[in-house]
A and B are shown apart, each in its own frame.
Chain A
Amino acid sequence: MYSPQIVVEALLNGLMLGAIYALIALGLTLIYGVLHIVNFAHGALLTVAMFMVWLACARYGLDPYLAILFVAPAMFALGYGLQRFIIGPASHGKDNGILLVTLGLSIIIENALLAAFQSDTRTITSDYSFKVVELGPLLLSFPRVVGFGVTIATTILLWLVLHQTDIGKAIRAVAKEKLGASLVGISVPHVYAMTFAIGCACLAVAAGLLMPSFYVSPKTGAAFVLVAFTIVVLGGMGSIPGALIGGLLIGVVEAASSLFLGDSLGQIGIFLIFIVTLLVRPTGLFGARA
């Protein structure tokens, strides 16, 4: 029914889409690992980043990959401000408060975008959109090959930041022992906000990688939110290698289930993995904490 070539191509393309998923999940898992919060606004923030990339390309004629260089600092600043001045103070440090504040933020962002841009889906036309890379007999979508490479590079970069820089050390210290870190003079609200900002910058990279082959509407991020949570839970909340491997795995699962079940039922595979992981092993594959 399906020739092996189609199946292998679909799975490889899924693997590479999974890489971009992993990038989205990377920010989410970092924020969870350090702040111990579930950031419900992550999907909406991805939408913001995608709109920024779209604006940069459609209005100013920038290359989508080049746009990342401008969107990433903007998202970094936005993330810092949100955590430092809204999420942190508004939630009073309570788990439930954070859950609700980020949910509220996601609704505000989504509907502000809806008011500003209407619900139309927008795409950008770039030279890459339909380009393919030939790998022997296999045809792979060029934007996804780039996405795969950039994700790996970003993960390594993130790893280096966390392990080689002062702010990285501070972030890891706060993640391990908040009180101890603040006793030795680390400003916990600042580290929280920096972590949130880095998570948002990851979203900017993901947005730049997605736009050439995807579309954006105010609701786009919502579609990614559960996928990203699935990856984070599957990989283990707070685990960076977990997010990478989880992302790749989910990409393949999605490709396989849409190939065999069709697009509308395809997503169900992801949610079932999510539910089963939560029920059977809520610490995920690489998570240490329950």
Chain B
Amino acid sequence: MTRPRLSTLAIIVAALAVVPLAGLSGSLLNLMIFMMIIALAAQGWNILGGYAGLSSFGHAAFFGAGAYAMVVLQTRFGVNAWIALVIGIALGALVGAFIGFLSFRSGLKGSYFALITLAFAEVARILANSTNFTGGAAGILLKLQTGLPYLQFADRRYFLLIALGFVAIGLLVSWWLEHSRFGAYLVALRENEQAAQALGVDVFAVKMKAIAISGALTAAAGCLYAQNYLFIDANVAFGSWISIEALFAAIVGGSGTVIGPLLGAIVLLGLGELTKMVSGGIPGMDLLVFGVILVLSVAYSPNGLVMLMKSLGLRAPAKAREA
């Protein structure tokens, strides 16, 4: 198991923070913001799917809960953006607890759990799409107001730093999992639920905590997404694309590892952009590449890029320590 030190994580975050200060702008800056948002969503997925071994196909439910909380609270109730952000994150945890309570009480796992999370996300999508309160099919626009209190910035590099801050929190949460009793419970649960239960782990409570943390992190990604693009509709916020990208990034990078989701998001989206450039205007080529990478990584590197690098002797932490 790769267990990066805190100092390694600090160096990674610092390195990412230096990039925009070095004068990144335009579409590359936008890409990097998007990478951070997906990385955050993937970090959320990783808590549940990676550490606890409960693959969700419906993390859009949490992402959308955060995104809608962010936009609806600001536009309909005039709530301050930062407070809306906190409420959005809490809502993600709550939605997680709700889905978790129902599914874990019935003992769902494996493909059944994947399917029910997908169904919950779809129900949320249909409801958001046909309710006026959430803007219906037309979606909702967020007013452009720059300034710190509005969490919108004329210089988008500030927004990148805030997104990066959340990714750093995500790294810390995963780091804590690797070093805490709770994290050990999660891994025990993944490896053998019966054995964990027999040894006195309160399986239900552990799963509930995991899905709440997972939901909160992914909801934070949804909040940032809404705040960055200033527009959401049901297909964006609750669409299956985000469930898939969160899962892809975590698995390709290395599920159940601290830096896997971040690494996966950067590599996948980077490759996706590259494919778009190379293939010109052909639609769907970037996703096609994602699909191929997913199949290849399940086939040849089931433990993700992090482990692949490790087995090739390019252990990321060691390299970072030298730097």
Contact = CB atoms under 8 A, between A and B. Distances in A.
Interface of B, secondary structure class, is helix
Interface string A99-113: 111011111101111
Interface in A68-104: 86, 89-92, 94-97, 99-101, 103-104
B200 interface: no
Contact of A265 (B102, B126, B295): B126
A265 B130 contact: yes
A115 B289 CA distance: 12
Interface in B283-323: 283-285, 287-288, 290-292, 294-295, 298-299, 302
Contacts of A54: none
B97 interface: no
Nearest to B57: A103
A187 interface: no
Interface in B95-154: 102-103, 105-106, 108, 110-112, 114-116, 118-120, 122-123, 126-127, 129-130, 137
B120 A275 contact: yes
B119 A100 contact: no
B287 A111 contact: yes
A168 B295 CA distance: 30
B242 to A, nearest CB: 14
B95 to A, nearest CB: 14
Interface string A249-290: 000000000000010110110011011001110100000000
Contacts of B284: 110-115, 218
A104 B302 contact: no
B1 interface: no
Contact of B106 (A103, A118, A279): A279
B118 A115 contact: no
A96 to B, nearest CB: 6
B251 interface: yes
Contact of B112 (A91, A271, A272, A278): A278
B288 A111 contact: yes
Contacts of A111: 283-285, 287-288, 291
B302 A97 contact: yes
A279 B122 CA distance: 16
B199 interface: no
B114 A99 contact: yes
Interface class of chain A by DSSP: helix
Contacts of A101: 294-295, 298-299
Contacts of A89: 299
Nearest to B126: A268
B119 A271 contact: yes
B108 A275 contact: no
B110 A233 contact: no
Nearest to A38: B111
Contact of B295 (A90, A262, A272, A278): A90
A226 B122 contact: yes
A182 interface: no
A90 B299 contact: yes
Contacts of B251: 100
A104 B295 CA distance: 6
Nearest to A36: B111
Interface in A190-206: none
A279 B123 contact: no
B227 interface: no
B298 A100 contact: yes
18 contacts: A86-B295, A90-B298, A91-B299, A103-B247, A104-B295, A106-B291, A107-B287, A110-B284, A115-B283, A115-B288, A229-B115, A230-B119, A265-B126, A268-B126, A275-B123, A278-B115, A282-B106, A282-B108
Interface of B: 53, 55, 57, 102-103, 105-106, 108, 110-112, 114-116, 118-120, 122-123, 126-127, 129-130, 137, 240, 244, 247, 251, 282-285, 287-288, 290-292, 294-295, 298-299, 302
The 4 residue pairs across chains A and B that have the minimum distance between CB atoms: A111-B284, A114-B284, A107-B291, A108-B291
Given A110-B284, A115-B283, A264-B137, 14 more contacts: A90-B295, A96-B110, A99-B110, A100-B55, A104-B298, A218-B284, A222-B240, A229-B115, A264-B129, A274-B116, A275-B102, A278-B103, A278-B119, A282-B108
